[in-house]
A and B are shown apart, each in its own frame.
Chain A
Amino acid sequence: SAVISQKPSRDICQRGTSLTIQCQVDSQVTMMFWYRQQPGQSLTLIATANQGSEATYESGFVIDKFPISRPNLTFSTLTVSNMSPEDSSIYLCSVDRRTVSTDTQYFGPGTRLTVL
């Protein structure tokens, strides 16, 4: 399994500000994913981040609101820009670990964001 860490683990922010969330993996991975989980809801994919290329965003998510960086094969950041209370969610990164016998995605512990 992959060891994935996220920073910060939680934050309380004022509306109109931005927060950058970091995701660090203990080994090199090709694809990293960012998900949002709104209160009491399931997970929704925000974007897929490949090293050396622009992130691919899902319908309903745009780069201006959720810019993503992927500077190397073990690290990615997600920024939540110009935040509003509706952005209060848990944000999770995940990596796809494929071998001959498995193609499991492993998740970080999440960043709990509250926007006032």
Chain B
Amino acid sequence: SQQGEEDPQALSIQEGENATMNCSYKTSINNLQWYRQNSGRGLVHLILIRSNEREKHSGRLRVTLDTSKKSSSLLITASRAADTASYFCASSTQGGSEKLVFGKGTKLTVNP
């Protein structure tokens, strides 16, 4: 069953604004990853944060992880029209499982 829940389900912003997406999960994790999907194509890996990390940056992306609340957030700063896509979190659970459990995703629209 899906253990990741994301909010909002859809987000529409103007170019230059920041976009924040949240993800919650139910069980203990090894790591949590964020992916982007353009128009129903394949997934592009954005960033991975491990369970012992609290924050990670990559370019305009900032990911936080709060294991006490079982939640993560993805912040995209200075958004661009090209950032328009669906964003998914995916968690890898403790116990050595390589399986990913995906959240429902946030559909982000960045208006020029």
Tell me the A residues contacting B by CB distance below 8 Å.
1, 4, 31, 33, 37, 41-45, 48, 59, 90, 92, 94, 96, 102-110, 112
Known contacts A105-B98, A109-B41, A110-B40, then 7 further A-B pairs from the complex at CB < 8 Å, ordered by chain A residue? A37-B40, A48-B99, A103-B30, A104-B45, A104-B48, A105-B33, A107-B35
Give Cα distance in the complex from A112 to B31, angstroms.
Answer: 29
> Is residue B100 contacting chain A, with contact meaning CB distance below 8 A?
yes
Q: List 11 A-B contacts (CB under 8 A).
A: A31-B98, A33-B100, A42-B2, A43-B100, A92-B42, A103-B30, A103-B92, A104-B48, A105-B45, A107-B43, A110-B41
B100 and A105: CB pair below 8 A? yes
Give Cα distance in the complex from A48 to B98, angstroms.
Answer: 9
Question: For chain B, what secondary structure do more than half of its interface residues adopt (helix, strand, loop), or is it mixed?
Answer: strand
B99 and A33: CB pair below 8 A? yes
Residues of A within 8 Å of B43, CB to CB, are 43, 92, 94, 107
- How many residue pairs, one in A and one in B, have C-beta atoms under 8 Å apart? 61
Residues of B within 8 Å of A102, CB to CB, are 48
Give Cα distance in the complex from A112 to B37, angstroms.
Answer: 14
Residues of B within 8 Å of A, CB-based: how many? Answer: 25
Residues of B within 8 Å of A44, CB to CB, are 2, 102
Question: A31: nearest residue on chain B (CB-CB)?
Answer: B98
Shortest C-beta distance, A34 to chain B (Å), equals 11
A108 and B42: CB pair below 8 A? yes
A103 and B31: CB pair below 8 A? yes
B42 and A110: CB pair below 8 A? yes
